[in-house]
Amino acid sequence: MNRISRWWPALLLTGFAVLVAGLASACGGDDSSNSDDPRVGQIGGIAELATYAYAAAGADGLYDYLAPSVTERCSRQGLAQALQDIELPTGWRQIKDVGFEGDKATATVIFTTPSGDREVKWTFQQDSQGWRLLDLPGLDRCSH
What is the total count of domains within the chain? 1
Structural domain for 35, as ranges: 3-141
Beta bridge partners of 117: 112
Residue 3's pLDDT band, with cuts at 50, 70 and 90, is: very low
pLDDT at 17 over 80: no
pLDDT at 26 over 70: no
Give the whole-number percent of the chain exceeding pLDDT 90. 73
107 vs 22, more confident:
107
Residue 134's pLDDT band, with cuts at 50, 70 and 90, is: very high
pLDDT at 32 over 70: no
Angstrom CA distances, 122 to 50, 76, 80, 96, 132, stand at 11, 18, 17, 11, 10
Q: What is the CATH number of the domain that holds 37?
A: 3.10.450
